[in-house]
């Protein structure tokens, strides 16, 4: 039930101004004496050429009172609406309880396809915390759009192609051992890769050798490809562990290598469209008219680039999925890269370049000294997640040592805390890791929302007699109950808003608000010990909150344990 919209429609019928325009002007007064909604008539004065108080009075006379409104008062230029609280709480709670985990879902995206390019780590390199954000935000946007009926295609555009793999082959042949790589995986690949870099500084011939190997890869040379495939498998095995822990999956693992044999026709198309220019032996697309440095397409040595593969991938995706939108989740520092190649697509004459959207985010910073780092300064995702689980376990041991299945709960809460923390602010803000803050069960955190959900579950467990039949909603006449219902009612609109702005934090914060208002409700109102009709009505609130918190957490990619 969208009350603002319904009010706007009622007002619109009474004054013949478009409902959308009216809806945008309807306010929620901060002073409850002024009603639950207020419509100021000032803006209508221009259109209707009358004084605002007169307009208010006239509309007031013609207005047909919607059924969820108990009273309408005209105060000067304002039309104030007072909700019929009983009608309202009943409507909201019934909506939630009948739709259950589908509450908030819609089909506004039906028939539309959104491609989401997220996570996309580079193989043979550690999956570090920098990729956490892309993974977590991308997954949330995937779940949110899916709930709105969009057809979602989640793509892991792995960084699995490029000269660096030529270097790795050389490094392996010079200093590698199959056993060590099988045993230590990416860490060992990284170690020999770093060795290569140090050695190449002294001996540049190594770089030529590496380039040669990459050319062999491009040409499909058997030995080169089989080594590359092996590095790929080793890496994917480790990534899979991380995705498993995070509960994230993809519809396609079409990384950069997938486009190896698809770039030539695209380069040819660029040439035919007169967009390729030679510059110092390289092939570029000039972007000076868009005030950007040129987009490098082919290197002097004939090698293709990151941008070449992105352009090819975009054309492939358009052809394969006919997307309405294709979004890319990477850190802010890739802004220029995306702006450049989006402009190349524009210059190629493809109107849909407008539907390519870079969705950037800020950096991850670490509260110094609090996180274990293995090599150098990278923090591995896996280590971070394990640490989150271990820290959570400590808290559980302290708070609730008798909890059954502590290990699973610690996983859900620890990882949930990491995800929630990442999604708590607008994307562009940097994320700081602080265990103390992230795991604070009383803070604005994942564990707090999960704990509130578990509290609701535990109340319901003690009331097996609860049923939705014959609830007397007039028993929910206190402010706290009403506040909870208002927030539950706003939940579907928050999901839509998060999708429209590509900002999961709008949903994250709303869940915190629901949890807070529920805890106030719980504090103010005895539930299980109340008289039977009051108890039933309050249990309906508990049930609805439980349902919405679990649904909301799921949209963020977070589990909601029943006990913690
Ligand atoms: N592999 C890249 C990185 O780690 C991210 C790829 C993002 N997606 C894309 N289509 N460029 O920085």
Model pLDDT for residues 186-210, shown as the tens digit of each residue: 999 999 999 999 999 999 999 999 9
325 labelled catalytic = no
Q: Tell me how far the alpha carbon of residue 132 lies from the centroid of ligand 1, in angstroms.
A: 13
| Per-residue pLDDT, 453 | 98
* pLDDT tens digit sequence for 222-261: 999 999 999 999 999 999 999 999 999 999 999 999 999 9
Residue 210 Cα, ligand 1 centroid: separation in angstroms? 22
Mean pLDDT for all residues in the chain = 94
What's the rounded mean pLDDT across residues 172-179?
96
Find out whether the beta carbon of 521 lies less than 6 Å from any atom of ligand 1.
no
Instruction: Provide, rounded to the nearest whole percent, the portion of the chain with pLDDT above 90.
Output: 86
User: One of 73, 112, 125, 146 is an active-site residue; which one?
Assistant: 125
In the residue annotation, 128 being an active-site residue is answered as: yes
Q: Distance (Å, rounded) from C-alpha 210 to C-alpha 78?
A: 75
> Which band of pLDDT confidence, cut at 50, 70 and 90, is reported for residue 374?
very low
pLDDT of 1 > 70? The answer is no
Q: Which residue of 334, 344, 363 sits with most ligand 1 atoms within 8 Å of its CB, as the best mutation to test the pocket? A: 334
Confidence band of 16 (pLDDT split at 50, 70, 90): confident
Query: Distance, CA 60 to ligand 1 centroid (Å)?
Result: 57
- Residues 388-409 have pLDDT tens digits of 999 999 999 999 999 999 999 9
User: Torsions phi, psi of 185, nearest 5?
Assistant: 55, -135
| Protein residue whose Cα sits closest to atom 6 of ligand 1 | 120
Q: Which of 27-36, 315-324, 354-363, 509-518 has the lowest mean pLDDT?
A: 27-36
**pLDDT tens digits along 251-293:** 999 999 999 999 999 999 999 999 999 999 999 999 999 999 9
| Helix residue ranges per DSSP H, 289-405 | 306-321, 335-347, 381-399
356 sits in which H/E element: strand 356-361
Confidence of residue 373 (pLDDT cuts 50, 70, 90): very low
> What is the rounded average pLDDT of the residues 362-390?
73
Q: What is the mean pLDDT of residues 111-131?
A: 93
pTM for the model stands at 0.92
**pLDDT beyond 90 at 33:** no
Q: pLDDT-derived band of residue 368, with 50, 70 and 90 as boundaries?
A: low
Is the pLDDT score of 300 beyond 70?
yes
Distance from first CA to last CA of the chain, Å, rounded?
Answer: 33
Task: Return the bridge partners of 277, or none.
Answer: 284
pLDDT reading at 375 higher than 70:
no
Task: Please tell me what DSSP assigns to residue 274.
Answer: T
DSSP notation for 25-89? H-B--SSGGG-SEEEE-HHHHHHHTS-HHHHHHHHHHHPPPPTTEEEEEEETTEEEEEE-HHHHH
Average pLDDT of the segment spanning 129-157: 96
Q: Are strands 78-83 and 431-433 parallel, antiparallel or unpaired?
A: unpaired
pLDDT at 332: 94
Query: What is the C-alpha separation between 352 and 77, in angstroms, rounded?
Result: 46
Cα 411 to ligand 1 centre (Å): 28
Confidence of residue 370 (pLDDT cuts 50, 70, 90): very low
pLDDT at position 128: 83
Q: Kindly state if the Cβ of 328 falls inside 6 Å of ligand 1.
A: yes
Ligand 1 atom index nearest CA of 338: 11
Note the pLDDT of residue 376: 53
Concerning whether 131 is annotated as a catalytic residue, the answer is yes
CB 213 within 8 A of CB 172: no
For ligand 1, atom 8, the nearest C-alpha belongs to 157
The Cα 449–Cα 441 span in angstroms is 8
CA of 508 to the centre of ligand 1 (A): 26
What's residue 378's pLDDT?
67
b/e code 228-240 from CB counts within 10 Å (16+ = b)? beebbebbbebbe
Q: Is 310 in the pocket of ligand 1 (CB under 6 A)?
A: yes
Taking the CA of residue 158 as reference, the ligand 1 atom at the shortest distance is 1
Q: What are phi and psi of 438, to 5 degrees?
A: -65, -30
Write the CA distances from 16 to 19, 57, 64, 66, integer angstroms: 8, 15, 14, 17
**Which protein residue's CA is at the shortest distance from atom 4 of ligand 1?**
121
Q: Average of pLDDT values for 154-180?
A: 95
């Amino acid at each position: 039930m969208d009350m603002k919209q319904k009010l706007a429609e009622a007002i619109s019928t009474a004054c013949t101004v478009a409902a959308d325009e009216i809806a945008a002007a309807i306010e929620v007064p901060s002073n409850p004496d002024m009603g639950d909604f207020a419509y100021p008539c000032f803006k209508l004065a221009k259109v209707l050429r009358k004084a605002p108080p007169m307009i208010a009075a006239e509309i007031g006379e013609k207005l047909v009172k919607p059924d969820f409104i108990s009273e309408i008062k005209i105060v000067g230029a304002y039309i104030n609406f007072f909700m019929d609280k009983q009608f309202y709480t009943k409507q909201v709670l019934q909506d939630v309880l009948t739709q259950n985990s589908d509450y908030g879902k819609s089909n506004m995206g039906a028939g539309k396809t959104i491609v989401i390019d997220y996570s996309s780590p580079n193989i043979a390199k550690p999956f570090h915390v920098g990729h956490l954000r892309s993974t977590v935000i991308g997954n949330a946007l995937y779940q949110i759009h899916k709930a709105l009926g969009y057809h979602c295609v989640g793509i892991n555009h792995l960084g699995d192609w490029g000269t660096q793999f030529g270097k790795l082959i050389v490094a392996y042949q010079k200093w590698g051992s199959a056993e060590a790589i099988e045993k230590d995986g990416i860490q060992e690949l990284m170690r020999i890769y770093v060795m290569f870099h140090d050695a190449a500084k002294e001996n540049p011939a190594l770089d030529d050798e590496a380039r040669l190997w990459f050319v062999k890869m491009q040409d499909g040379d058997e030995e080169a490809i089989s080594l590359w495939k092996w590095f790929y498998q080793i890496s994917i095995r480790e990534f899979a562990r991380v995705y498993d822990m995070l509960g994230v999956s993809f519809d396609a693992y079409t990384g950069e290598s997938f486009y190896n044999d698809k770039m030539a026709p695209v380069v040819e198309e660029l040439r035919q469209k007169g967009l390729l220019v030679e510059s110092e032996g390289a092939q570029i697309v000039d972007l000076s008219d868009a005030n950007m440095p040129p987009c490098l397409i082919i290197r002097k040595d004939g090698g293709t680039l990151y941008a070449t593969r992105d352009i090819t991938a975009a054309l492939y995706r358009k052809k394969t999925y006919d997307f309405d939108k294709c979004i890319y989740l990477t850190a802010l520092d890739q802004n220029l890269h995306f702006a450049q190649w989006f402009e190349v697509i524009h210059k190629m004459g493809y109107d849909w370049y407008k539907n390519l959207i870079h969705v950037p985010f800020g950096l991850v910073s670490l509260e110094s000294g609090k996180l274990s780092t293995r090599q150098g300064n990278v923090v591995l995702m896996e280590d971070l997640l394990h640490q989150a689980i271990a820290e959570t376990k400590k808290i559980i041991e302290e708070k609730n040592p008798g909890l059954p299945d502590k290990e699973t709960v610690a996983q859900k809460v620890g990882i949930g805390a990491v995800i929630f923390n990442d999604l708590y602010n607008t994307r562009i803000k940097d994320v700081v890791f602080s265990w103390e803050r992230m795991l604070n069960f009383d803070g604005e955190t994942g564990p707090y929302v999960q704990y509130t959900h578990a509290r609701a579950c535990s109340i319901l467990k003690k009331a097996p007699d609860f049923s939705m039949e014959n609830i007397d909603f007039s028993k929910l006449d206190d402010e706290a109950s009403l506040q909870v219902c208002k927030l539950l009612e706003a939940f579907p609109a928050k999901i839509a808003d998060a999708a429209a702005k590509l900002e999961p934090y709008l949903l994250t914060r709303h869940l915190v608000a629901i949890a807070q208002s529920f805890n106030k409700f719980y504090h103010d109102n005895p539930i299980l010990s109340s008289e039977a009709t009051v108890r039933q009505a309050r249990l309906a609130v508990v049930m609805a909150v439980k349902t919405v918190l679990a649904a909301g957490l799921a949209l963020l990619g977070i589990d909601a344990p029943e006990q913690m």
